[in-house]
């Protein structure tokens, strides 16, 4: 995408077309990690060519893994086995990738060498104690800044022991970090969650031949297992598709087909919420890619109504709330969100950023510590500060398609972390959007 620091977005035309959304970011991270640890050569097709996922691949290259890129969105990973990683010659830069940093913390805590994980300005402000705490219970030694933020200084050569751990806050990233550490730990590692979270790591570990028991809210594996190389087809990223699902729903006359979108049941809370609001979204051509369910999603414009978002859906849509806020802004009647305090510690405080942005465009939004009430209305012109958060930036590009004037969205370069080419794809289907 353009590296311009801002977009100017205006109401365009009815959105039409068949779109290929980039590969799933979560699956792309994990596919490279597990392929690197496997015995043998794995091919990853549909790899997300985003800055976050490229950062993860670059880290494994520096850890001694040969990774080829024969063509865009394809990686050939020459696995070195669980005991084959080598010490890097300096700090490992995770960029903006919280997923990369937290999962790597678990993996590198078990290695015989020291490592340092660093990130960009945004990632360097994100809390890491939720992962370093339970890893310490397993025997890991990881130093952070005094406030628990990166860089992470990981001391190698620690003997890890499996634990039976109940997460105080549901987090797929923390769960995954503990499972990766558990591959190296003595005995079993068992994780219990207060609410079920995404099971990408569990599904992919199984695809790589690891014996792992998992069900919603629970996962268990024993240490000392090896991984077998396998080929992975990465589905289209549901979180990226979310912006076009909302845009197609709110722009009159629209009809979009999004091909082969990943529909992991722990990821699609937004799909259920939009349908509760009256969205017209149907699934066609169901299939399975790399152990993940996929389907084409066909969305048509439909009048939406405000809802009380069921709290049971919140863990399954935590990355999609910026898109939901835009749908709520264009609905009939108020939408109430509760139980989403996790949004305050994402790439930005997403509750505050979305509330402030919608107020800038003329709406009333009442914040609470763990949610908000969005009162819909006519969206006006204004300048939005995205705080360098890719999802905030894309959400307001969508909102502008229903605005009465120009919406300037500042600080959009980080969209490349998750959705390279968003602006071109959006313009191609009818968005009014320019750099």
SS (H, E, C) the chain: CCCCCEEEEECCCCCEEEECCCECHHHHHHHHHHHHHCEEEEEEECCCCCHHHHHHHHHHHHCCCEEECCCCCEEEEEEECCCCCCCCCCCEECCCCHHHHHHHHHHHCCCCCCEEEECCCCHHHCCCHHHHHHHHHCCCEEECCCCCCCCEEEECCCCCECCEEECCCCCHHHHHHHHHHHCCCECEEEEECCCCCCCHHHHHHHHCCCCEEEECCEEEEECCCCCECCCEECCECHHHHHHHHHHHHHCCCCEEEEEEEECCCCCCHHHHHHHHCCCEEEEEEEEEECCEEEEEEEEECCCCECCECCHHHHHHHCCCHHHHHHHHHCCECCEEECCCHHHHHCCCCHHHHHHHHHHHCCCEEEEECCEEEEECCCECCEEEECCCCHHHHHHHHHHHHHECCCEEEECCHHHHHCCCCHHHHHHHCCCEEEC
What is the average pLDDT value for the chain, to the nearest integer? 95
Alpha-carbon span 227 to 386, nearest angstrom: 40
**160: its two tokens:** 């890890």
Poorest-pLDDT segment among 77-81, 279-283, 420-424: 420-424
Span 239-266, pLDDT tens digits: 999 999 999 999 999 999 999 999 998 8
pLDDT value of position 71: 96
Whether 4 shows a pLDDT value over 60: the answer reads no
Q: Exactly one of 199, 237, 316, 319 is catalytic; which is it?
A: 319
Whether 2 shows a pLDDT value over 50: the answer reads no
| Contact criterion met (CB below 8 Å) for 42 and 79 | yes
pLDDT value of position 420: 87
Whether 120 shows a pLDDT value over 90: the answer reads yes
Q: Give the predicted TM-score (pTM) of the model.
A: 0.84
Whether 1 shows a pLDDT value over 50: the answer reads no
Pairing of strands 212-215, 218-222: antiparallel
pLDDT value of position 372: 96
Alpha-carbon span 319 to 347, nearest angstrom: 10
Distances (CA, A) of 181 to 138, 222, 277, 393: 8, 11, 41, 34
Whether 175 shows a pLDDT value over 50: the answer reads yes
Question: Is 410 an active-site residue?
Answer: no
Alpha-carbon span 360 to 157, nearest angstrom: 52
Percentage of residues in the chain having pLDDT higher than 70: 98
Q: Cis peptide leading into 151, omega within 30 of 0? A: yes
**46: its two tokens:** 């549909």
pLDDT value of position 290: 67
| Contact criterion met (CB below 8 Å) for 5 and 240 | no
Whether 3 shows a pLDDT value over 50: the answer reads no
Poorest-pLDDT segment among 43-52, 156-165, 168-177, 288-297: 288-297
Span 320-349, pLDDT tens digits: 999 999 999 999 999 999 998 887 877 678
Which whole number is the average pLDDT over 95-109? 95
């Amino acid at each position: 995408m353009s590296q311009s620091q801002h977009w100017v977005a205006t109401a365009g035309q009815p959105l039409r077309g068949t779109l290929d959304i980039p590969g799933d970011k979560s699956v792309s991270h994990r596919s490279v990690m597990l392929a690197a640890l496997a015995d043998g050569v794995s091919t990853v097709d549909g790899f997300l060519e985003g800055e976050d996922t490229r950062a993860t691949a670059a880290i494994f290259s520096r850890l001694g893994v040969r990774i080829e890129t024969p063509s865009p969105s394809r990686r050939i990973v020459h696995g070195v086995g669980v005991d084959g990683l080598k010490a890097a010659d300096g700090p490992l830069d995770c960029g903006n990738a919280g997923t990369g940093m937290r999962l790597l913390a678990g993996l590198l805590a078990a290695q015989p060498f020291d490592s340092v994980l660093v990130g960009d300005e945004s990632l360097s402000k994100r809390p890491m104690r939720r992962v370093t705490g339970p890893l310490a219970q397993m025997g890991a030694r990881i130093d952070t800044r005094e406030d628990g933020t990166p860089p992470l200084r990981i001391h190698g050569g620690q003997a890890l022991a499996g634990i039976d751990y109940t997460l105080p806050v549901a987090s797929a990233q923390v769960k995954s970090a503990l499972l990766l550490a558990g591959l190296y730990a003595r005995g079993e590692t068992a994780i219990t969650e207060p609410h079920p979270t995404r099971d990408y790591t569990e599904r992919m570990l199984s695809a790589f031949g690891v014996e792992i028991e998992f069900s919603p809210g629970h996962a268990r594996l024993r240490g000392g297992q090896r991984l077998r190389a396998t080929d992975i087809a990465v589905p289209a990223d549901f979180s990226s598709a979310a912006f076009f699902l909302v845009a197609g729903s709110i722009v009159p006359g629209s009809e979009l087909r999004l091909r082969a979108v990943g529909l992991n049941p722990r990821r699609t809370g937004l799909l259920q919420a939009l349908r509760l609001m009256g969205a017209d979204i149907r699934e066609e051509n169901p299939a399975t890619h790399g152990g993940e369910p996929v389907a084409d999603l066909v969305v048509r414009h439909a009048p939406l109504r405000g809802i009380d978002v069921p709290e049971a859906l919140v863990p399954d849509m935590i990355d999609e709330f910026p898109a939901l806020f835009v749908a709520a802004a264009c609905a009939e009647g108020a939408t109430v969100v509760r139980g989403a305090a996790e949004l305050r510690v994402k790439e930005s405080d997403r509750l505050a950023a979305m509330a402030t942005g919608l107020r800038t465009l003329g709406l009333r939004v009442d914040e609470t510590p763990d949610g908000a009430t969005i009162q819909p209305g006519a969206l006006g012109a204004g300048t939005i500060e995205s705080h360098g958060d890719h999802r905030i930036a894309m959400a307001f590009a969508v909102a502008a398609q229903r605005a009465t004037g120009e919406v300037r969205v500042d600080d959009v370069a980080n969209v490349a972390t998750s959705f390279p080419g968003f602006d071109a794809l959006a313009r191609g289907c009818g968005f009014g959007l320019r750099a």
